Amino acid sequence: MVTDGSFSSHQSHATIEGNNFEAHVKSILNNDKRLAAHHIRIYNNKDFSEDITLLDRLTINVRNYSEPPNNLNLIAKDTITGALIALICCKLSLHGRISETLFYSMFYKNYLKEEELKVVLVTPDKGRQNNQKAWISEWGTYNNPTKGRILSEYFLDGVYIDNQYLRQRFGIIASTQLGLDLYDFALLPAHLIDWKNGQR
């Protein structure tokens, strides 16, 4: 039986690990010389509060409800024109949270009419082993995809897998089967540049 204290501790640990992964993704992208050369920079929640235009553009306002973009993780932006290039959602693992990412993708593209804004997910694919010894991908395989993989192919502009983070951070040896809209994380900088230039 899980006590409130242990549940709270687990949630706190999960939040810290999630923040660490988000910081890792931001750092990798902002240190990429190709992105810097194309004037593309990655912003997080703290950066939003310092950019009033960006904060106002991404805040959800419906009826008497207003939600700042606290769950959006990262935004790729053209530092010259101010154009938004991509919303980058960072998830250490899915555990039913893929629906949140899909919601934001649909919301920003359809409700806020940000049709040109790409929405992607970056994850290390922590696995769905459920106390089993062997790592099992949360995304299934190319021929036997999970529900999350199928939905992502239709409603996201790409899922980027960083298996290397699992090895470095947790010592987990993983090899997600890529294909269709599942890419290696190393390809994201090139895709951001293409999107900025109106390609793909």
Tens digit of each residue's pLDDT (9 = 90 or more) over 134-182 = 889 999 999 999 999 999 999 999 999 999 999 999 888 899 999 988 9
Cα–Cα distance measured from residue 75 to residue 26, given in angstroms and rounded to the nearest whole number: 9
User: Among 26-40, 55-69, 130-144, 177-191, whose mean pLDDT is lowest?
Assistant: 55-69
Residues 21/124, Cβ–Cβ less than 8 Å: yes
Q: Categorize the per-residue pLDDT at 67 as very low, low, confident or very high, splitting at 50, 70 and 90.
A: low
The residue ranges of every structural domain in the chain are: 4-196
CB atoms within 10 A of CB 155: 16
163-170 vs 4-30: helix axis angle to the nearest 10? 120
- For residues 163 and 176, the answer to whether their CB atoms sit within 8 Å is yes
Least confident window among 1-10, 56-65, 100-109:
1-10
Q: How many CA atoms lie within 13 A of 148 on its CB side?
A: 22
The set of long-range contacts for 50-53, using a CB threshold of 8 Å and a minimum separation of 24, is 53/82
CATH code for the domain defined by 4-196 = 3.40.91.80
Share of the chain above pLDDT 70, in %: 84
Q: CA-to-CA distance for 151 and 98, rounded, in angstroms? A: 9
